[in-house]
Structure 1
Amino acid sequence: MLRAAPFIKRSGESKLRHYYSLEFAKQALTEIKSGTSTPEILEYILTSGVVLDAASRGVFEIVDLCLKYFPELMWDTNFAKKLIIKVVEGRHIKLFRLVIKNYPIRYLADDNYMNFDLMEAVTKWSSRCESPDVSGAAFLMQRELQWFQAVEDRGFLSSERLTYMEKKKSYWEKFVEQREELLKDARQWMKETSSSCSLVATIIITVAFAATFTVPGGNDGNKGIPIFLNKGSFMVFVVANALALFSSITAALMFLAILTSRYAIEDFLFSLPRKMILGLTFLFLSLVFMLVAFGSALMIVLSERLKWIYIPITLLAAIPIILFAILQLPLYGEMVESTFLPRLYRLLKFCK
């Protein structure tokens, strides 16, 4: 507790500084707008690069405040273009939503130079493109592909799409070329993760299959019927064991499909992430069902002697599930959201 206290204190102080900094910025903008003529302030903001620098660094609050107090900024087409390019280069989804809300990008569709600048921005790779909310190199590659597809699908090539088809191909080639190292890391991440998970799935298959023929309590010597067949806990064991076996087999097949994939860069957009998510889902389910089967087997064996045994068994079986929920569920949720409900596509659909 003594070690955790300084961290909590620093976190609270950081949030407090952020809050008061934001309040100070609001107060300053209010005073500036009321005490100085608007054209002079707009000229200063446009020439100083304050908003563009904040957008490049992903400081949403500053950009939001400036656009709220001075919406006239987005009337300047050159400023709007530069702002959009900075946001795309930094891969700031929240800022992208803000910008296209104030200045719908479809108004820039007829500007071919703007189209090319945006394609240059989305194909450019730098350390700023890496995001802390992405689970592994494979999903970082997926995020990059989503940005490229979003920029392309929004019609940034305008009516000259066919004329500049060769140019668009060069952008794709440049996109792939600049992400060769990321593609290698994504392939390695997928292979290593699939190999580890398939090993776990194989172990569960072996255990669940063996448990089918070695039921708790044994079988009747004459008829071969399980002795505890009429017990409710025995039926729980049978059902849970069967579900664990089927889930682990499905998970192993999904990971096998990943290991035998061609690992083309396009596969990291939908195909491979979906297989990985499905494989992890069935693997997690098989672990849960295995714990349920194990707990019910213990209750069958010990319930005659220890009537209260189901309480500690239930608590102990819940520990791994709770640990998984705390440690892995946020990352798993990010994988699911990135693949099936990507924020980038949702905001673009909303702003059409």
Structure 2
Amino acid sequence: MTRTRRTALHVAAMAGHTEIVETLVENMSPEDLEIKDSSGFTALTAAISYNANIKIAECMVKKNKKLPTVVDELCMPVVWAFRYCHIEMARYLYSVASIESLLSDDDNRAHAAGLINQAIMTKCYDVALHLLQHCPQLATTADTAGIAIVIDGDRVIKEIYTKPPTNPNMSSGFKKIYEMKLIHIQTSELLRRMCDEIKKLDETQMSRPDIITTLFEAVEKGNFEFVRSIFKSSPDLEEVYGFHERNIFMAAIRCRQAKLFSLIHGVRSKLKATNHRDRDSNNMLHMAGLSLPHPQLDRIAGAALQMQRELQWFKEVESVVPPWTYEHINSESLTPRQLFTREHKQLLSDGEKWMKETATSCTVVGALIVTIMFAATFTVPGGNDEGTGYPKFLDNKTFMLFIKSDAISLFSSTTSVLMFLGILTSTYDEDDFLKSLPKKLMIGLGTLFLSIAAMMISFCAAVSVMLDDKKSWLAFFIISLAGIPITLFVLMQFPLLIEIYLSTYRPNIFNRKP
């Protein structure tokens, strides 16, 4: 009917005209519904590509039961439905698809493996599990693109335990919990079945490119549960090599996957893994010396903290590898530390710039507070008694609060200025970013916050002394306004202070007892 060899059924199905489709199907033979256009798509696949009209699909499938599993140019209609995230349509087509036709030959099994992959990606774990129960071998079968099944079990389990239901409706909350627990059970069962199948593979099958590629992709994505389960079921996979002849742990270092790298402390091949060199004669410490891909660096606030995290990685790997690796040179005649310096030259420069800009801005604020609070000490509210020279409100408790908060603000702001001056005069060596500079910045920000808070308290105390009980409403109004700058400072700078503290002093991101 068209230059793309589409039939009237193709055109009507793509346009979503249910009545026309029903009339056409009624006057066609079952075989006619399998006619493909120039792209190799049946009318059912074409309809899925343009809309998700289940009535149209039901009409066609009723006429020809084989349609959901008819292989077109790329894959089956049921797989297309999952790929396009038409979940209701996909579940319907899978419910009426013949399992026997899905598993009839090697080509169809590749499409079935693709169906499992797509079902997992769209979180239809029950469909993936159902098909795997009928044919366990699909767990180690590559799909039409040569990709073996990967389940992101770590992400799913993380979702379950870090995202509790927020719906105030109790019944809805219980329903959400039930759904999450069900997903947990399904994904755990999928993982178990896949591991059981991998155990059955011999050494030759274990080294298949699709199996190796799947394992290294799981490492790159940080799928901890998947990789740990694979290692438990098939310890031999600990020693496989991927891109540039790098082992699993070298790949984990390169992608900065801390949990996965920590698995090295529990594997039998630890000694062999730590002594391995890749095609370019890089050892594990060289991998830590390579710069981190930018998308992962961007998750850390500030170039200085990014540099700190890179140094933490280098120090951790250094504590694991044998001593000979420290001075070992690669194909570029670089030791790990020399490679680290070269790869992180720009990050070091950015970190220095970030530190100096932050310190300069905070120094100005701190110096202003020092000036103000020093002057306030000699211009006390109410003045001094002409006879004795003592402040007139010396016996007033609120006045004593003014004196104390003034002193705290003066001393803490002076401390913060000294800390920021220490940052500005630092040599900015690489190792300074590990503890020295973050510690100075943390103390500087902490004391600056304390000085601002104390300054506001001092101001409020002075206002309260001067107005006394005569204008209590005005004093209350002014004191309320004093909370605004403190709140703004907390919102803008306190998160950075917390992040610096956690990055420097929190428990190690590496687990030596995985």
Whether 2:312 is the aligned partner of 1:119: answer no
Partner of 1:153: 319
Give, in whole Å, the separation in 1 of the partners of 2:358 and 2:396. 40
Partner of 1:7: none
Give, in whole Å, the separation in 2 of the partners of 1:109 and 1:290. 57
Offset of residue 173 of structure 1: 1.1
Moved more, 203-212 or 299-308: 299-308
| CA gap 1:219/1:74 in 2 versus in 1, 3 angstroms | farther
Give, in whole Å, the separation in 2 of the partners of 1:320 and 1:198. 18
Partner of 1:57: 221
Offset of residue 188 of structure 1: 0.7
Give, in whole Å, the separation in 1 of the partners of 2:338 and 2:284. 16
Partner of 1:100: 264
Moved more, 20-29 or 211-220: 20-29
Higher helix proportion (structure 1 or 2): 1
Partner of 2:239: 78
| CA gap 1:105/1:342 in 2 versus in 1, 3 angstroms | farther
Give, in whole Å, the separation in 1 of the partners of 2:198 and 2:295. 38
| CA gap 1:24/1:150 in 2 versus in 1, 3 angstroms | same
Moved more, 221-230 or 238-247: 221-230
Match of 2:508 among 343, 348, 351: 343
| CA gap 1:314/1:86 in 2 versus in 1, 3 angstroms | farther
| CA gap 1:333/1:276 in 2 versus in 1, 3 angstroms | same
Whether 2:234 is the aligned partner of 1:68: answer no
- Report the secondary structure of 1:182's partner residue: helix
Name the amino acid aligned to 1:234: F
Offset of residue 318 of structure 1: 3.7
TM normalised by structure 2 equals: 0.56
Unaligned runs of 5+ in 1: 1-12
After superposition, residues 283-322 of structure 1 pair within 5 angstroms as 283-307=448-472, 311-312=476-477, 315-322=480-487
Q: Encode CA deviations 1:109-133: one digit per residue, 9 max, x unaligned.
A: 7635379431221111142474344
Q: Encode CA deviations 1:8-53: one digit per residue, 9 max, x unaligned.
A: xxxxx9999966776654343344456x473239837982422321
Q: Encode CA deviations 1:278-309: one digit per residue, 9 max, x unaligned.
A: 11111111111111111111111122213456
Whether 2:420 is the aligned partner of 1:258: answer no
Whether 2:441 is the aligned partner of 1:276: answer yes
Q: Encode CA deviations 1:224-258: one digit per residue, 9 max, x unaligned.
A: 21111111111111000001000111111111111
Whether 2:195 is the aligned partner of 1:29: answer no
Offset of residue 324 of structure 1: 3.9
Name the amino acid aligned to 2:417: A
Where relative contact order (Cα < 8 A, 6+ residues apart) is larger, the structure is 1
Offset of residue 275 of structure 1: 1.2
Structure 2 contact 327–336 (Cα < 8 Å) conserved: no
Give, in whole Å, the separation in 1 of the partners of 2:427 and 2:359. 14
Structure 2 contact 252–260 (Cα < 8 Å) conserved: yes
Offset of residue 95 of structure 1: 3.2
Q: Encode CA deviations 1:159-199: one digit per residue, 9 max, x unaligned.
A: x46xx636397221111011111111111111111110000
Partner of 1:214: 379
Whether 2:332 is the aligned partner of 1:165: answer no
Give, in whole Å, the separation in 2 of the partners of 1:173 and 1:195. 31
Structure 1 contact 135–335 (Cα < 8 Å) conserved: no
Give, in whole Å, the separation in 2 of the partners of 1:101 and 1:166. 23
Give, in whole Å, the separation in 2 of the partners of 1:312 and 1:24. 59
After superposition, residues 191-202 of structure 1 pair within 5 angstroms as 191-202=356-367
Partner of 1:329: 494
- Report the secondary structure of 2:437's partner residue: helix
| CA gap 1:331/1:310 in 2 versus in 1, 3 angstroms | same
Give, in whole Å, the separation in 1 of the partners of 2:487 and 2:186. 42
Give, in whole Å, the separation in 2 of the partners of 1:70 and 1:151. 21
Q: Encode CA deviations 1:299-323: one digit per residue, 9 max, x unaligned.
A: 1112221345665555444444444
Partner of 2:81: none
Structure 2 contact 219–227 (Cα < 8 Å) conserved: no
Whether 2:139 is the aligned partner of 1:139: answer no
Structure 1 contact 123–171 (Cα < 8 Å) conserved: yes
Partner of 1:10: none
RMSD: 3.4
Structure 1 contact 228–234 (Cα < 8 Å) conserved: yes
Moved more, 194-203 or 300-309: 300-309
Give, in whole Å, the separation in 2 of the partners of 1:215 and 1:281. 27
- Counting matched residue pairs gives 328
Whether 2:350 is the aligned partner of 1:185: answer yes
| CA gap 1:66/1:261 in 2 versus in 1, 3 angstroms | closer
| CA gap 1:167/1:203 in 2 versus in 1, 3 angstroms | same
TM normalised by structure 1 equals: 0.80
Identity %: 32
Give, in whole Å, the separation in 1 of the partners of 2:258 and 2:469. 59
Offset of residue 70 of structure 1: 5.8
Q: Which has the larger radius of gyration?
A: 2
Give, in whole Å, the separation in 2 of the partners of 1:31 and 1:262. 56
Unaligned runs of 5+ in 2: 1-121, 124-154, 161-179
